[in-house]
Structure 1
Amino acid sequence: MEHLTQQRKLTIMVAIIAAMFFAAINQTIVSTAMPRIIAILGGMDYYTWVITIYMLTSTIATVLVGKLSDIYGRKPFILAGIVFFIIGAFLSGFARDIFELITYRGVQGVGAGIIMSCAFTAVGDLFPPRERGKWTGLMMAVFGFSSVLGPTLGGWIVDHMSWKWVFWIFLPIGLIAFVLIMALFPKVERRASEKIDYAGSLFLTLTIVPMLLGFSWAGTKYAWGSQQILGLFAATLIFLAIFIWVESRAKSPVLPLSLFRNSIITISNVIGFLMNAGMMGALIYLSFFVQGVLGIAPTYSGYVTMPMSLSMVVVSAVTGRLITKTGKYKRYALIGMPVMVLSMIMMAYMNSVWMAVLSMLIFGFGLGLGMPVFSLTVQNAAEPSELGVATASSQLFRNLGGTIGIAVMGTIMTSQLTSNLKATIASGGGVDISKLDPAVASKLAAFQNPEMLLDQPRLAELQHTLPEQIQPILAKMIDMLRDALSASLTTVFLAGAALLVIAMLLTFFLREIPLRTSNKMSEPQEKKAEDGDGKLAPSQA
């Protein structure tokens, strides 16, 4: 599609951005609303599953569609992705319990994976790598804008309307995006010579599912050393070995192993994995700190994350333009990564809303510098004929990192919370209701659950129903819960910071090759991408 006129490319980008915004806003609007939704539907033990199933299905959809869109073109898949997302969002509003919500969020995840994979790949179809910097920065800004609007709006909805509107309010945007893509996006002829890798697709899915289930259930539903968890990880290794064997013999593999012989693609994907594991795994629990520890209502908790989104919008847009202007990209990642680490350490020790706001502002600055880089490096180093599958590999590693990070951080938080509560009671600093009068203990039993901190209206209502003489005991219990939750979240944020440090160190080993000014890869560029020679030829220096 590089031959299209600039005006046609711009109209197509409008359609792509509309589809991306629809998927992004429906994800961010849930973040601040989810604690209240979980409190209403019940099932805090399954909280991470609402996010994990979304990431799981989007991960599988992303990587499978990457190769298929190389064969059939992007248009049919991005349309299908919008349809899946609309259906999932519509049904989520009708969920009667946590298990139905998990199922419908899984359907949404399928749509999101398809939309994101095709959207970023389509930019690669339209523009050469040198021009993609500004468009990648703009697409990051779309995510940032949705992060500004989504959490605040989500909090306001659950405070003033039925929580169902969290999923329904932006459905018209999905319909508009569908019409725009249908009308503007050009159709591409199928590559008749390529066949679909059904076996590779099957075994890739069978590798991903037990791996993510293992990480999700370990430490919560089952012990890490239990037969169930060890069995899931064993199944992962077995299916991975079969997948590698199948792909090494496939004529048109769903995920070509040759991609990972390219050091730029491999290192970029590993960095993306670690970044998302640390970032998503920690930030998803920021609402627990703001609402549970500080006691801020969902409407206002969205304002705490807003500075991160605003700074990311501005910085990512500027960074994209600078990358396009200079052709250099590694320097921005080397600046952004340490900034993200610093902000994550600040989150670990924050004790007020203002410190939370400052840490979010700094994190958004680092994110805006670093995030646009690693998709660009993968697309620049890949063969144009493998653009879709290369972009999908980048999305795959990021989604895996986010999913595993959320699951592992959830395990850390839950285990630390239980341990902290037990230690507080054992030291005499808490309230052991088993030693109280049975009548009093029965009234206070509901306040032993940390889930209570996330539903402030219910907490206030129950507080008013208790006799005045029990209020001091109740206040002590609530303080105990908040202290235990705060200490648990400190561990979560420090774990996220540690992962970002590893990603930062790997960035130093990422080779920087010139950004192409065409979608055709010249022989010198192809050689640099494949053989590890990162030096510029005299004509490029």
Structure 2
Amino acid sequence: MEHLSHKRKMTIMVAIIAAMFFAAINQTIVSTAMPRIIAILGGMDYYTWVITIYMLTSTISTVLVGKLSDIYGRKPFILAGIVFFIIGAFLTGLSKDIFQLITYRGIQGIGAGIIMASAFTAVGDLFSPRERGKWTGVMMAVFGFSSVLGPTLGGWIVDHMDWEWVFWIFLPVGIVAFILIMALFPKVDKKQSESIDYLGSLFLTLTIVPLLIGFSWAGTKYAWGSTQIIGLFGAALVALLIFMFVETRVKSPVLPLSLFKNSIVTISNLTGFLMNAGMMGALIYLPFFVQGVEGVSPTYSGYVTMPMSISMVVISSFTGRWITKSGKYKRYALLGMPIMIVGMIMMAFMNSIWLAVLSMIVFGFGLGLGMPVFSLTVQNAVRPDQLGVATASSQLFRNMGGTIGIAVMGTIMASSLKSSLKSAAESGQGVDLTKLDPKVAEQLAAFHNPEMLLDQPRLEQLRQTLPEQVQPIFAKMIDMLRDALSTSLTTVFLSGAALLVVALLLVFFLKEIPLRTSNRMPEQAGDPSKGEKEDGLSGTVAKQV
């Protein structure tokens, strides 16, 4: 599609951005609202599953759609993704308990994975790697804008409306996006020589599912060394070995292993994995500090995270332009990731709302510099006919990193919280309910759960039902819970910072090749020497790719 007129490309980009915004806003709007929704529906123990199932289904759909879109084109998959997302969002609003919420969020995840994989690949079809720098910045700005609007709106909705509207309010945007894609996006003929790798797709799915479930259950539902967890990891390993065997023998593999012979693809994907594991695993628990520790309502909780999104939007738009102008990208990752680490460390030791806001600004600044880089590196290092599967591999590693990060950080938080509560009780800072009147102890037992901190209206309502003489004991219990939650969150944020440090070290080994000014590889040009000069690629790069 690189040959299309500039006007046609712009209209297609409008359609792509509309679809991406629909998926992105529906993901960010739940961030500040989810603690309240969980408190209403119950099921604090399953909190991470609401996030994990979304990431799990989106990860699987992303990688499977990557190769299929190389064969059939992007249009049918973006349309299918929007339909899945609309159905999932509508059903999520009808949830009566935590298990329905998890199920329907899984359907949303399928749609999100399809939309994101197809949209990012379509940009690669439209523009050369050099031009993609600018458009990557624009697409990051779309995510940033949804991150500004979503959390604030989500918090406001659960404070002033029924929580169901968190999932329903943007359904009209999905319908508009569907119409735009249907009308504007060009149809691509199927590649007749390509076949579908059903067996590889099956075993790739059988690798991802038990692996992510194992990480989600380990340390929470089952011990890390339990038969169940070891069995899940063992099943994932067996499926992975079979998958690798299949991929070396099929004509058109769903995820060609040859991609990972390219050091740029491998290092970029590993960096994306670690970066998302640290970032998502820690940031998903930020509302616990704002709402649980500081007692801020969901509405104002969104205002705390807003500065990160604003700084990311501003910096990413400039980063995209700088990359397009210079054709260089590694420097921005090397500059952005240390800033992200500093922001994460600030989160670990924040003790006020203002410090939380400052840490958000710093983290968003680094995110805007570093995040746009790694999709570009992968797309620039492969042939145009591999754009779909290469982009899908990048999304796969990022999604798996985010999913595993959330699960592992959830385990870290739960174990740290349990340890903190135990230490408080042993040191005498806690409240010994056995020494109180049985009736009063029964009332207070309802508060002896950090989940109560996430629903301030209910907390205040229950407090008012307690006798006046019990109020000091109640206040002491709440302070103890907040201290324990704050301590556990410090551990979570420091763990996230450690993963970002490892990701930064990997960036030093990332080989930088100039961004091409055309979608053609050097060997595809009529005059090889001219192609190398025009694209800024050397012969060694052509061999590597």
Q: Structure 1 CA distance, aligned partners of 2:254 and 2:323?
A: 31
Q: Which digits, 9 at most, give the CA deviation of each residue in 1:317-353, with x for residues without a partner?
A: 0000010011111111100000000000000000000
Q: Which digits, 9 at most, give the CA deviation of each residue in 1:154-206, with x for residues without a partner?
A: 00000000000000000000000000000000000000000000000000000
Q: Which residue of 2 aligns with 1:539?
A: none
Q: Structure 2 CA distance, aligned partners of 1:130 and 1:424?
A: 57
Contact 2:521–2:542 (CA under 8 A) maintained in structure 1: no
Q: Structure 2 CA distance, aligned partners of 1:202 and 1:530?
A: 33
SS at match of 2:372: helix
Q: Which residue of 2 aligns with 1:500?
A: 500
Q: Which residue of 1 aligns with 2:353?
A: 353
1:112–1:526 Cα change, 3 Å: farther
Choose 522-531 or 31-40, whichever is displaced more. Answer: 522-531
Q: Which residue of 1 aligns with 2:51?
A: 51
Q: Structure 2 CA distance, aligned partners of 1:206 and 1:397?
A: 16
Q: Which residue of 1 aligns with 2:528?
A: none
SS at match of 1:186: coil
One-letter code aligned to 1:450: P
Q: Which runs of 5+ in 2 are unaligned?
A: 524-531
Q: Which residue of 2 aligns with 1:126?
A: 126
Runs of 4+ in 1 over 4 A off after TM superposition: 530-533
SS at match of 1:224: coil
Q: Which residue of 2 aligns with 1:457?
A: 457
Contact 1:307–1:357 (CA under 8 A) maintained in structure 2: yes
Q: Structure 2 CA distance, aligned partners of 1:55 and 1:17?
A: 21
Residue 436 of structure 1, CA deviation: 2.2
Contact 2:522–2:542 (CA under 8 A) maintained in structure 1: no
Report whether the alignment pairs 1:407 with 2:407: yes
Q: Which residue of 2 aligns with 1:330?
A: 330
Q: Structure 2 CA distance, aligned partners of 1:527 and 1:495?
A: 42
Residue 437 of structure 1, CA deviation: 2.2
Report whether the alignment pairs 1:257 with 2:277: no
One-letter code aligned to 2:60: I
Report whether the alignment pairs 1:514 with 2:489: no
One-letter code aligned to 2:203: F
Q: Which residue of 2 aligns with 1:537?
A: none
Within a 5 Å distance, the mapping from 1:10-409 to structure 2 comes to: 10-409=10-409
Q: Structure 2 CA distance, aligned partners of 1:384 and 1:529?
A: 15
Residue 434 of structure 1, CA deviation: 2.5
Residue 429 of structure 1, CA deviation: 1.1
1:527–1:234 Cα change, 3 Å: farther
One-letter code aligned to 1:26: N
Q: Which residue of 2 aligns with 1:528?
A: 540
Q: Structure 1 CA distance, aligned partners of 2:434 and 2:259?
A: 60
Q: Structure 1 CA distance, aligned partners of 2:376 and 2:540?
A: 16
Q: Structure 1 CA distance, aligned partners of 2:254 and 2:415?
A: 38
Residue 530 of structure 1, CA deviation: 6.5
Q: Structure 1 CA distance, aligned partners of 2:449 and 2:390?
A: 45
Residue 439 of structure 1, CA deviation: 1.6
Q: Structure 1 CA distance, aligned partners of 2:393 and 2:414?
A: 31
Contact 1:343–1:363 (CA under 8 A) maintained in structure 2: yes
Q: Which digits, 9 at most, give the CA deviation of each residue in 1:59-107, with x for residues without a partner?
A: 0000000000000000000000000000000000000000000000000
Contact 1:261–1:530 (CA under 8 A) maintained in structure 2: no
Q: Structure 2 CA distance, aligned partners of 1:272 and 1:101?
A: 28
Q: Which residue of 1 aligns with 2:442?
A: 442
One-letter code aligned to 2:480: M
Give TM-score scaled by structure 1 length: 0.98
One-letter code aligned to 2:417: L
1:526–1:201 Cα change, 3 Å: farther
Q: Structure 2 CA distance, aligned partners of 1:283 and 1:310?
A: 16
Q: Structure 2 CA distance, aligned partners of 1:531 and 1:462?
A: 69
One-letter code aligned to 2:257: L
SS at match of 2:33: helix
Q: Structure 2 CA distance, aligned partners of 1:459 and 1:50?
A: 23
Contact 2:32–2:155 (CA under 8 A) maintained in structure 1: yes
Q: Structure 1 CA distance, aligned partners of 2:538 and 2:469?
A: 77
Q: Structure 2 CA distance, aligned partners of 1:189 and 1:502?
A: 43
SS at match of 1:249: coil
Residue 250 of structure 1, CA deviation: 1.0
Residue 527 of structure 1, CA deviation: 4.8
One-letter code aligned to 2:272: G
Residue 526 of structure 1, CA deviation: 7.8
Contact 1:92–1:101 (CA under 8 A) maintained in structure 2: yes
Q: Structure 2 CA distance, aligned partners of 1:234 and 1:91?
A: 34
SS at match of 1:159: helix
One-letter code aligned to 1:388: G
1:41–1:340 Cα change, 3 Å: same
One-letter code aligned to 1:3: H
Contact 2:348–2:493 (CA under 8 A) maintained in structure 1: yes
Aligned identity (percent) is 80
Residue 528 of structure 1, CA deviation: 3.4
Within a 5 Å distance, the mapping from 1:450-489 to structure 2 comes to: 450-489=450-489
One-letter code aligned to 1:501: V
Residue 458 of structure 1, CA deviation: 0.3
Q: Which residue of 1 aligns with 2:529?
A: none
One-letter code aligned to 2:104: Y
SS at match of 1:181: helix
One-letter code aligned to 2:189: E
Give TM-score scaled by structure 2 length: 0.97
Q: Which digits, 9 at most, give the CA deviation of each residue in 1:400-440, with x for residues without a partner?
A: 00000000000000111011001100011111212322121
Q: Which residue of 2 aligns with 1:431?
A: 431
One-letter code aligned to 1:198: Y
SS at match of 2:252: coil
One-letter code aligned to 1:166: V
Q: Structure 2 CA distance, aligned partners of 1:235 and 1:295?
A: 43
Contact 1:263–1:530 (CA under 8 A) maintained in structure 2: no
SS at match of 1:509: coil
